[in-house]
């Protein structure tokens, strides 16, 4: 096999709690992540040597700044075979949006290269490489519904939430995850998620309880800086969402809906004011070809 194409999904954060800032500058977190059926396509072709990236979007770097490039570099640092890769990215997931677009691309590159190079690295080795790239990269190796602890890389598989209607609204401004964490004051956080309650709702497949229980402590930073995000959440409630929160560090806001017609009606209303609006569904492990 000389070439492989994988569809890699975006994610939403059903909850984010930040426990404390660690001495190394990272933060201890507890969050529930969920894959959705909004996909980037990653095509990887074997080359004799070197790494190259081709992405049509001008705002996506085609060099060592791209985490997909870094993933390929790490892979070849451990791969027993000499070789290279040409990576083509077809971006559908918005960037700097809190949806994990870069991380899912990196996970796809690791998986694709391992297939192309005869599964030369064991699963544990791929997981170890993914952790060096970022906690979300590790999550995307399996996807579905997962609980993340530690710095986000201590993952526990949860029962998969499949087929829940989700609407995403991404405003036309980026948000830096680093900036959000640097400005996070845990003393000012008023609401924290009840993770045990949320896991119970997931196990019972009680979508209404789950939606009512969602919280994201990073909103204390991002929403304060960008009040428009609260307006979007309020509109989701007005449009019949069971619950609405910001994904990741933002700026994307999502709403969970009871059925597809309600979600589609909300999407149509948001499209009057925003360009990047998506009607998606939650997917489980194995529901994508990554």
* 136 catalytically annotated: yes
Say which CATH architecture domain 3-157 belongs to: 2-Layer Sandwich (3.30)
pTM: 0.94
- Tens of pLDDT, residue by residue over 88-120, are 999 999 988 999 999 999 999 999 999 999 999
Q: How far is CA 242 from CA 30, 51, 190, 235, in A?
A: 23, 45, 21, 12
- pLDDT value for 286: 77
- pLDDT value for 1: 85
CATH for 165-281, options being 3.40.605.10, 3.10.20.810, 3.30.70.890, 3.50.50.60: 3.30.70.890
Coil, helix or strand at residue 127: helix
* 70 catalytically annotated: no
* 7-14: average pLDDT: 98
- Tens of pLDDT, residue by residue over 53-87, are 999 888 888 889 999 999 999 999 999 998 999 99
Is the confidence at residue 235, as pLDDT, over 90?
yes
Q: In which residue ranges of the chain is CATH 3.30.70.890 found?
A: 165-281
Q: In which residue ranges of the chain is CATH 3.30.230.10 found?
A: 3-157
Counting beta carbons within 10 angstroms of the beta carbon of residue 190, is it exposed (0 to 12), middle (13 to 18) or buried (19 or more)? exposed
The single-letter DSSP state of residue 188 is G
Query: What would the two tokens of residue 63 be?
Result: 């060099």
Cβ atoms 156, 146 nearer than 8 A: yes
- pLDDT value for 23: 74
Marked catalytic residue, from 11, 91, 111, 170: 11
* 179-190: average pLDDT: 90
Marked catalytic residue, from 40, 105, 136, 165: 136
Long-range contacts, 179-185 (Cβ 8 Å, 24+) = 180/218, 180/221, 180/222, 180/249, 180/250, 181/18, 181/27, 181/218, 181/249, 183/221, 184/18, 184/27, 184/217, 184/218, 184/220, 184/221, 185/220
Is the confidence at residue 225, as pLDDT, over 90?
yes
């Amino acid at each position: 096999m000389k070439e492989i194409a994988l569809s890699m999904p975006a994610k939403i954060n059903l909850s984010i709690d930040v426990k404390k800032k660690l001495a190394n500058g990272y933060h201890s977190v507890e969050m529930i992540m969920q894959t959705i059926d909004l996909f980037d396509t990653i095509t990887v072709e074997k080359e004799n040597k070197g790494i190259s990236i081709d992405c049509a979007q001008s705002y996506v770097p085609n060099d060592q700044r791209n985490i997909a490039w870094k993933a390929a570099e790490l892979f070849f640092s451990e791969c027993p075979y000499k070789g290279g890769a040409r990576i083509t990215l077809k971006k559908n997931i918005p960037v700097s949006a809190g949806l994990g677009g870069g991380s899912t691309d990196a996970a796809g590159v690791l998986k694709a290269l391992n297939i192309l190079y005869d599964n030369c690295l064991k699963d544990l080795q791929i997981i170890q490489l993914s952790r060096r790239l970022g906690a979300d990269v590790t999550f995307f190796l399996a996807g579905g519904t997962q609980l993340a602890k530690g710095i986000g890389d201590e993952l526990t598989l949860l029962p998969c939430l499949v087929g829940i209607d989700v609407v995403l609204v991404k405003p036309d401004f980026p948000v830096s995850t680093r900036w959000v964490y640097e400005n996070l004051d845990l003393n000012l956080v008023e609401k924290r998620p009840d993770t045990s309650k949320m896991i119970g709702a997931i196990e019972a497949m009680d979508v209404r309880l789950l939606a009512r229980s969602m919280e994201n402590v990073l909103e204390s930073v991002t929403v304060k800086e960008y009040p428009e995000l609260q307006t979007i959440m309020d509109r989701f409630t007005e449009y019949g969402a069971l619950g609405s929160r910001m994904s990741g560090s933002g700026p994307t806001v999502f709403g969970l809906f009871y059925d597809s017609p309600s979600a589609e009606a909300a999407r149509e209303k948001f499209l009057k004011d925003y360009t990047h609006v998506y009607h998606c569904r939650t997917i489980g492990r194995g529901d994508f070809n990554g």
